[in-house]
Structure 1
Amino acid sequence: MTKKEIIIQAATELFTEKGYRETTTSDIRKKAKVAQGTLFYHFANKEGILLHIFSSIINSQLEAIKFFPSNEGTGMEALIKYAQFCNDLRREEGSTLVFVLPNFVPSLLYQHEETKKIFLEFFDTSIAQVEYLIKRGIEDGSIREMDPHTTAHFFIATSIGIDRHMTLTIAPTPNLFPTYLNFMKKALAPEAT
């Protein structure tokens, strides 16, 4: 592993164990067993490490969704499979998302052009994929007539909202994903079921 990778691994472990705010760059440096100059050579500050972790998650998920087999089954079946696929990707990140989501401030994107570019590509790709699946469903009759673009945004926004709620709430919360899927199936179905 490179020094940069060691720093990222140490930071990820500390952010997960202690929390992002409670972890100092000194803690990260000590756990990574690197000099202060080495840490600051790779990252200007703790936010830089968080941005790198966020970018890595988004980049990894972007590569995965680009290869989703979107032509299998009906549009509705493919859309439900896509939602499950994305849910599985997010679950794989598990504890990393627990510290990234509450500490990630969208204004950080405007400070780091490369991260902003990756995030926008991920978002645009997700919307385009869902919009395509909705259009397919409308064409094959498995999804009722509606505006695919607006519906794709709603589909993604609802999923993000559920993720944030499930990750950030301290109260016991049931798994909302099955209810989300059921709600979307009923909302998109050609006739009320």
Structure 2
Amino acid sequence: MSEMMEQWLTELLNVNDKEEAKMTEKQIKILKAAVEIFSEKGYAASSTSEIAQKAGVAEGTIFRHYKTKKDLLISIVAPTVSKLIAPFVLKDFNKVLEAPYPKYEDFLRAVIKNRMEFARNNLQILKILIQEIPFQPDLRENFKQSIGKQVLERITKVVERYQKEGTIISIPPLSVIRLSVSTIIGFFLARFILFPELDWDEELETELTIDFIMHGLSPRYE
């Protein structure tokens, strides 16, 4: 298990220690096993028998604590998004959002560099979110409320500032964010999820990604 995953689990257990119902030793083992297997295989391809075997407990033990496999995912992951995952996702990102970069492309470059380092260090956690958020409404709503709204409001103000300065075109700020974020996420998915085995020139790909975004957002094309 990676050092970052160990840190994440330690923080998760600390969160639960502060709740009224503390986790038992067997629940902790189930949690650790579930996180590893969900990250490696995805929720749909994982089985409670695999989780039980990895945790060193009987499969029936899982069902004594969690009625279904979905309950295991939701009861462990969803309640911790706002308390644990949100700080991880937003960690050091506020510095980027608050810095007065002279141009929008400078801001994009800082965002990519900052979030790429985060993705590299927290890949297992991000895999669970990427794999499950589209298919788990409860988890998706929790993520939106805990992280999405905070980031969206901050980035909207950043985009509006560059639009007032005339460095990017005057279209709805949400459209600017959608076009920028979808391109950057596409780069990250290819780099870390789809084709991690390729020999990536991250600096070159970063600049190509920024050039592609700015080609569409530059005022000279209005």
TM-score normalised by structure 2 residue count: 0.63
Q: 2:209 — aligned with what?
A: 180
- Counterpart residue identity of residue 62, structure 2: L
Query: What are the ranges of 5 or more consecutive residues in structure 2 without an aligned counterpart?
Result: 1-12, 14-22
Q: In 2, Cα distance between the equivalents of 1:99 and 1:69?
A: 25
Q: 1:27 — aligned with what?
A: 50
The answer to whether residue 90 in structure 2 is matched with residue 67 in structure 1 is no
Q: 2:175 — aligned with what?
A: 150
Equivalent residue in structure 2 for 1:104, among 122, 132, 142: 132
Query: What are the ranges of 5 or more consecutive residues in structure 1 without an aligned counterpart?
Result: none
The answer to whether residue 33 in structure 2 is matched with residue 10 in structure 1 is yes
Q: CA deviation at 1:170?
A: 5.8
Kept after mapping to 1: 8 A contact 2:156/2:177: yes
Q: 1:132 — aligned with what?
A: 157
- Counterpart residue identity of residue 23, structure 1: S
Q: CA deviation at 1:25?
A: 0.9
Identity %: 20
- Counterpart residue identity of residue 179, structure 2: F
Kept after mapping to 1: 8 A contact 2:183/2:213: no
TM-score normalised by structure 1 residue count: 0.70
Q: 2:194 — aligned with what?
A: 169
Kept after mapping to 2: 8 A contact 1:15/1:23: yes
- Counterpart residue identity of residue 119, structure 1: F
The answer to whether residue 114 in structure 2 is matched with residue 85 in structure 1 is yes
Kept after mapping to 1: 8 A contact 2:112/2:206: no
Q: 1:40 — aligned with what?
A: 63
* Aligned pairs, number: 187
Aligned to 1:179, the other structure's residue is in SS state: helix
Q: In 1, Cα distance between the equivalents of 2:177 and 2:59?
A: 46
Taking a change above 3 Å as real, the CA distance of residues 70 and 43 of structure 1, as seen in their structure-2 partners, is same
Taking a change above 3 Å as real, the CA distance of residues 170 and 144 of structure 1, as seen in their structure-2 partners, is closer
Q: In 2, Cα distance between the equivalents of 1:83 and 1:106?
A: 23
Q: In 1, Cα distance between the equivalents of 2:191 and 2:71?
A: 26
